[in-house]
Structure 1
Amino acid sequence: MRQIPPILSKSLPCFLLFLIFLAPGFYKITHAQNFDFPFGEISSFDLKSAVYDKDTSAVALVLNETGDAWMDTDNGYELVVNYHVRIKIFKQAGVEKANVVLPLRKSDKNKERIIDLQASSFNLVDGVMLETKMNNKAIFEEDGGKFYDYKKFTIANAKAGSIIEYKFSLRSPYIYNFYTWEFQSDIPKRKSEYWATIPGNYIYNLSLRGSLKLSLNENKIIQKCVVISGGSYGTGIHADCIRYKFAMEDIPAFVEEEYMTAKSNFLSAIYFELSEVRYFDGRVDKVTKQWKDADEELKMDKKFGVQLKRGKDVIGEQLKTIAALKLDSLGVANKIYDYVKESYQWNEVYGIYSEFGVKEALVTKRGNVGDINLTLIAALKYAGFTAEPLILSTRRNGLPTDIYPVISDFNYVIAKVKIGGKVYLLDATDDFMPFGMLPERCFNGKGRVLAEKGSYWYEIKPTEKARIVNMCNMKIAEDGKITGIMQRSFFGYRAVSKRKELLRFSDTAEYENALSDEFGSFKPSDIKIEHVNELNKPVAESFAIEADEFVSAQPANFLFNPFLTGKLEKNPFKSETRLYPVDFGVPIDEMYILKIELPENITVSTLPEKVALGLPEAGGRFICDFKQEGSTLTLTNMFSISRTVYSAEEYHYLRELFNRMIQTQQIDLVFTKK
């Protein structure tokens, strides 16, 4: 992974209030940095080290890292961050850390810039340290679009065993966006330290997120660091700053694991958010709004609230056709939902705001999330329904702060509509999503309903499971040939996935080949699939299977694994411990029933014992049970995850359930020909 310094990572704010109390004007801020480490002074121990003793799997290690943030007034207001890092590369995979990407924010009139960039690699050659300095030709800039540019560089002569080091000064005109400092990254760090000096009229909310503890957490007043040199307040006025010092040591690498939401929810980092700007004359500019203020702004916004008034433009004529069908309220809402889905193609762009405008997007048949779902809400409102926008942050976008509104935390909008006393949440961006179901990306805790009488938080939960039922009736002939019928039913989110999967195949033959890969020695044929286009019904699939691998077996034992489908090959929970919750998104429910008719000349040895495991508080279960009645052998296998979120403390039980399931499904039945 390319190296992105922690001050330049895009992350979400979360806050604990600290007040800082000074004044603006025409003033000078004095600043002195005195905690940085000398560039190029490499210890022999670090240069010779071949492994990190606290994490022997690490491909690289941050030996030291410092950041110093402050405001400079020499050329207008600028946020300055001096950054310096030294990294030891242990393995070839760690060489990527020498490819550095610095995202720089920009707008029409302003942009961030990097100055005083210095970089080198250090290698041990014949017992002597060799420094290779970066040539300026290795530095280039790339246009990243409307909001970002990228400065990129590669440190030469970096290899396994090298130490690389670089430093720079970031100068930003966006003083309202004080940078987050991420202590954790995808490689471990021996030490990471961050200082922030903030003049008192800028009142920031600060918070530490993540499970790791600070080794240094200090703040003190720097007296007379602000000197007023003119303006309406006169001269000779001095004011203070506050300096924060934060550090962590022996920081483990952050490892993204299966079933996690956004890493910004768990990464150990310090976050800053400007709350107020205070003036000597008593005026206060509140940057942090109340929800009633945010509600009003969104209501008046041309790309949000104004779009909700255009229902007639998008559904007026179509509503006459729907009304002629004489449907009940739920039927009308379904028709409007289908009409909006069929009228748009989602352009894969998230956002709560309309990108093109609902009327314009309807003409082009394309739009972002805002275009499509604001159209849906407007159409439902025009048809007389109580429909409201519900803004949320998707699973990969992180959790929104709930202390006060930070609209940039939200990147998605859906419709909330009440029909016959029941609430339905709707998203028309997915052609395969039935009425009342949301895409899994939407399940990230709570969202904010923007109601007419004021907004409120609303818990967003799945209404359906990812459910599949597999039933197979099988017969073994006297010569060992196996034939049978497999029937599979896909419900809820498994039905959505199945419909999307079927789109990949051009014809039945191609799909039959895919089934052959899934079922191994069993050859499928005579495939029938129903309800693919009837979204409110489960997808039903049936096909014949046969296998003759046991025909040639002489009177002797032969092994047969009865788990033809749904077999779990590996545990997604590899680590023995876990610091973060497990979030499945939606509940899981799987059932597999296999019935085998045995001939008189084939018997089965002792059947495996029943396995029945359950998670605490009815959180899930695994049951595997073999029974034989006469010549009929029956396997019943059931697996369910009934909750969507499990705490780190419950991780052990979850991991063990999956381990036992894998062990059980590896068991072969032993058949004997007489």
Structure 2
Amino acid sequence: MRITFNLLALLISITAFSQNYKFGKVSKEELQEVINPIDSSATASYLYKNRKTHFQYLPQNGFNVVTEVHERVKIYNQEGYEYATKQIALYKSRNNEEEVSGLKAYTYNLIDGKIIEDKMSKDAVFKTETSKYWDQLKFTLPNIKNGCIVEYRYKIFSPFITNIDEYVFQEDIPIKKLEAVFEAPEYFVYKKNVKGYLPVTPKTERLNDKFVYHGVSNNTGEAGTSSVKKERYTQEVTHLTNKTSYDLLNIPALKEEPYVSNIDNYRSGVKYELSYTHYPNSSVDYYSTTWEDVVKTIYESSSFGDELDKSGYYEKDIDALIGSISDPVKRAYLIFDFVKSRMKWNNYHSFYTNQGVKSAYKDHVGNVAEINLMLTSMLRYAGLRAYPVLVSTRSHGIPIFPTREGYNYVVSCIRFPEGDMLLDATNKYAVPNVLPTKALNWQGRMISEHGGSTLIDLYPKEKSKNTIFMMAKLKEDGSIEGACRTMKTTHKALEFRENYIGVNLDDYLERLENKYDGMEISDYAVKNDLDLSQPVRESYKFVKENQADIIGDKIYFSPMFFLRDTQNPFKLENREYPVDFAYPSVTSCKIIVSIPEGYKIESIPEAGAFMMPDDLGLFKYNILPQGNKVQLAVETHISESVITPVYYAALKTYFSQLVDKQGEQIVLSRI
């Protein structure tokens, strides 16, 4: 078996090396391929993925970064059609922007033994603005069919030498061959940050290079005169270039499962961060090399630290609000609610202000920084130990390495003797120590008055509760009718409010009925949706068909009905990245089932309980027959926000047992 596997790997390797990767040189063999030889489940594959990033010297602008991309993708079936569309993110500032040039794209199909090319038209290319700092170039290739190949190449010209886009070595589909190159003149020293679980061994070289410099010199005139004559000159400058190359074969797809904060955190790749620049005859200019450097740069910015010191614009309002209140916790609550009610978030994420806190306060609208730096400043004015906390949202990734790009959000923290209180005033339905789920991303970096920083855990310790009480009447035809009440606290309540408040009720009920596969809901009511100090209470009546199997004179049904889990969400044999539940939780279900007249209970499931190692999870199942009724109590606990891969096998077994137990049936027989 070992010999066979090695032979297969060798054959795949030989095949990869024998292919022609020049643009446009697609072969019949590539078009005839039906499945990926190392991953038969793949909907598409990168046959070739090439990127080269290097520097170009321009007389007017100095050094620019040029990124050349060439990709060839095989599409096996309709599910892989999404790979016929490419999106390119382009960064921009007030005065500069990245640009794409030289875009060429073709689709190749094999028809009657001949390779047919379809060139992408200019009409298939769209550029849109996605935010103040980002544009997106998007294009879709033509004539996509099962078995086709799409191929494209382009260049990105960027004036931002500190912002080198991450090299991605692992995608959601397999990659047969990947080549990547990063070249930088000796004047720019970059720190290489590698992430993911793929073993990568780069090749490094130092090459002789040169560029042509155009300058202007000042020459004095003839002796005894004061005239100055400007003369243009051209000079060839030689220097060393540091080159790093990557050459990888048969890279497996990164398989994603539920409960992952951001799969890109675990995707293999490398990020180049500018450490310092050193031009000839000049001093060294350092960039972000440590977290202390990063925090200092952010804190000393006029769009961050200076904004914390401003208070004149709100002092009268805060004095009137808390003048008679001495209790520090009450002061915190009043100020927090005041900012939430006064300010509206404009949907921009940033730890830097845009228009400034004073203007935002006047206009009643601001970005994340303007609202939460304003909140922090007010809390300090009220005599509280309040500090801004830099956060990376879940979609932004985990800031593993020191970089100014690592964070994109800021919240506020008050240090009380009893413990810390985390606040985010951008969310109208948030309460103290209940941050929006998007901000629950490992650790934040709390910045002190002098620009120092400490890490602070963002995940909550208190379990969020979802308590369900249901009464159901089972009918002879297998349908049920009844009533259900739920009560939600902390993050469960926050998520409910975000999905419910301000939404058309009919649309909301339609989604709820679809969630439970066509259940009919009536008499729907919600209490405490706007009273954030109380749990959200929800109630409704329902009718649902096909909740039991009728075989002869017997009825079989799970007493959890539509509330039970039917599938184990964890299916991978091994998982190398953590399971992220966002917050600890407990779901409690109390269900009373009335059985049809003329039937008796023949058998019921046994009570039981099981748990994960180190108290990470607990499941309890208690059932009790009471005359013509059955009473069931089920509890499911997840005790930690994040469960490391070490416990993945135990977690997978736990959920498998949970699904099996919830699916166990009561058997009724006709009297």
Which secondary structure does the structure 2 equivalent of 1:81 belong to?
A: strand
Distance 1:36 1:281, change over 3 A: farther
Equivalent residue runs for 1:188-199 within 5 Å: 188-199=174-185
Look up the match of 1:371.
370
Query: Deviation of residue 583 (structure 1)?
Result: 0.5
Query: Deviation of residue 622 (structure 1)?
Result: 1.8
Distance 1:523 1:86, change over 3 A: closer
Distance 1:200 1:52, change over 3 A: same
Contact 2:318 2:378 survives alignment (8 Å)? no
Look up the match of 1:32.
none
Contact 2:173 2:252 survives alignment (8 Å)? yes
Distance 1:365 1:109, change over 3 A: closer
Deviation per CA, 1:111-163, whole angstroms, max 9, x where unpaired?
Answer: 43334433333322322223344455655655566544444444444422222
- In 1, Cα distance between the equivalents of 2:508 and 2:214? 77
Query: Deviation of residue 84 (structure 1)?
Result: 1.9
Which secondary structure does the structure 2 equivalent of 1:204 belong to?
A: strand
Look up the match of 2:150.
164
> Which residues of structure 2 form unaligned runs of 5+?
1-18, 218-233
- In 1, Cα distance between the equivalents of 2:468 and 2:396? 35
Query: Deviation of residue 86 (structure 1)?
Result: 2.0
- In 1, Cα distance between the equivalents of 2:241 and 2:498? 57
Query: Deviation of residue 98 (structure 1)?
Result: 3.3
Query: Deviation of residue 397 (structure 1)?
Result: 0.6
Look up the match of 1:444.
441
Aligned partner (choices 624, 635, 648) of residue 632 of structure 2? 635
Look up the match of 2:455.
457
* Between 386-395 and 457-466, the greater mean CA deviation after superposition: 457-466
- In 2, Cα distance between the equivalents of 1:235 and 1:518? 70
What amino acid sits opposite 2:269 in the alignment? Answer: A
Aligned partner (choices 663, 666, 669) of residue 669 of structure 1? 666
Distance 1:65 1:169, change over 3 A: same
What amino acid sits opposite 1:381 in the alignment? Answer: R
Aligned partner (choices 49, 56, 65) of residue 65 of structure 1? 49
- In 2, Cα distance between the equivalents of 1:515 and 1:96? 29
Aligned partner (choices 14, 22, 28) of residue 44 of structure 1? 28
Distance 1:512 1:602, change over 3 A: farther
* Between 485-494 and 594-603, the greater mean CA deviation after superposition: 594-603
Deviation per CA, 1:649-669, whole angstroms, max 9, x where unpaired?
Answer: 322322232233223223332
Q: Indicate whether 1:308 and 2:308 are aligned.
A: yes
- In 1, Cα distance between the equivalents of 2:373 and 2:383? 15
Look up the match of 2:248.
248
* Between 593-602 and 573-582, the greater mean CA deviation after superposition: 593-602
* Between 365-374 and 572-581, the greater mean CA deviation after superposition: 572-581
Query: Deviation of residue 519 (structure 1)?
Result: 7.5
Equivalent residue runs for 1:281-292 within 5 Å: 281=281, 283-288=283-288, 291=291
TM-score by structure 2 length?
0.83
- In 2, Cα distance between the equivalents of 1:175 and 1:554? 72
Deviation per CA, 1:480-522, whole angstroms, max 9, x where unpaired?
Answer: 9988764432222222233344426667x99888877778899
Contact 1:443 1:461 survives alignment (8 Å)? yes
Q: Indicate whether 1:225 and 2:209 are aligned.
A: yes
Equivalent residue runs for 1:554-593 within 5 Å: 556-564=553-561, 566-593=563-590
Distance 1:346 1:55, change over 3 A: same
Q: Indicate whether 1:413 and 2:410 are aligned.
A: yes
- Name the structure, 1 or 2, with higher relative contact order (CA <8 Å, separation 6+): 1
Q: What is the RMSD of the two structures over their aligned residues, measured on CA atoms?
A: 3.7
Deviation per CA, 1:334-388, whole angstroms, max 9, x where unpaired?
Answer: 1111111111222222111223333322333222211221121111111111111
Which secondary structure does the structure 2 equivalent of 1:663 belong to?
A: helix
Query: Deviation of residue 434 (structure 1)?
Result: 1.9
- In 2, Cα distance between the equivalents of 1:146 and 1:514? 33
Distance 1:200 1:545, change over 3 A: closer
- In 2, Cα distance between the equivalents of 1:628 and 1:432? 41
- In 2, Cα distance between the equivalents of 1:385 and 1:363? 24
Contact 2:89 2:135 survives alignment (8 Å)? yes
What amino acid sits opposite 2:460 in the alignment? Answer: P
Aligned partner (choices 31, 37, 40) of residue 53 of structure 1? 37
Distance 1:67 1:484, change over 3 A: closer
Look up the match of 2:351.
352
* Between 85-94 and 617-626, the greater mean CA deviation after superposition: 85-94
What amino acid sits opposite 2:202 in the alignment? Answer: N
* Between 103-112 and 362-371, the greater mean CA deviation after superposition: 103-112
Distance 1:385 1:71, change over 3 A: same
Contact 2:461 2:584 survives alignment (8 Å)? no
Distance 1:607 1:301, change over 3 A: same
Distance 1:43 1:483, change over 3 A: closer
Equivalent residue runs for 1:545-556 within 5 Å: 556=553
Which secondary structure does the structure 2 equivalent of 1:408 belong to?
A: helix
Look up the match of 1:210.
196
- In 2, Cα distance between the equivalents of 1:163 and 1:156? 11
Contact 2:20 2:26 survives alignment (8 Å)? no
Contact 1:59 1:187 survives alignment (8 Å)? yes
Look up the match of 1:498.
496
Q: Indicate whether 1:130 and 2:127 are aligned.
A: no
Look up the match of 1:257.
257
- In 1, Cα distance between the equivalents of 2:570 and 2:65? 43
* Between 577-586 and 300-309, the greater mean CA deviation after superposition: 300-309
- In 1, Cα distance between the equivalents of 2:140 and 2:519? 52
Contact 2:181 2:243 survives alignment (8 Å)? yes
- In 1, Cα distance between the equivalents of 2:165 and 2:573? 34
Query: Deviation of residue 527 (structure 1)?
Result: 6.3
Query: Deviation of residue 573 (structure 1)?
Result: 2.4
What amino acid sits opposite 2:569 in the alignment? Answer: P
Contact 1:312 1:382 survives alignment (8 Å)? no
Equivalent residue runs for 1:24-43 within 5 Å: 37-43=21-27
Distance 1:489 1:502, change over 3 A: same
Contact 2:88 2:137 survives alignment (8 Å)? yes
Look up the match of 2:3.
none
* Between 559-568 and 132-141, the greater mean CA deviation after superposition: 132-141
Query: Deviation of residue 542 (structure 1)?
Result: 5.2
Contact 1:36 1:66 survives alignment (8 Å)? no
Contact 2:472 2:593 survives alignment (8 Å)? yes
Distance 1:315 1:474, change over 3 A: farther
Deviation per CA, 1:234-285, whole angstroms, max 9, x where unpaired?
Answer: 9897432222111221112234431112233111112111111123436211
Query: Deviation of residue 588 (structure 1)?
Result: 1.8
Deviation per CA, 1:549-599, whole angstroms, max 9, x where unpaired?
Answer: 99xx99943344321563223333243432321101001201112345779
What amino acid sits opposite 2:248 in the alignment? Answer: M
- In 1, Cα distance between the equivalents of 2:567 and 2:45? 30
Distance 1:414 1:102, change over 3 A: closer
- In 2, Cα distance between the equivalents of 1:166 and 1:47? 16
Query: Deviation of residue 194 (structure 1)?
Result: 0.7
> Which residues of structure 1 form unaligned runs of 5+?
1-34
Aligned partner (choices 63, 75, 80) of residue 89 of structure 1? 75
Aligned partner (choices 103, 121, 132) of residue 117 of structure 1? 103
- In 1, Cα distance between the equivalents of 2:475 and 2:129? 68
> How many correspondences in the alignment?
631
- In 1, Cα distance between the equivalents of 2:614 and 2:263? 27
Equivalent residue runs for 1:597-616 within 5 Å: 602-616=599-613
Look up the match of 1:466.
464
Which secondary structure does the structure 2 equivalent of 1:73 belong to?
A: strand
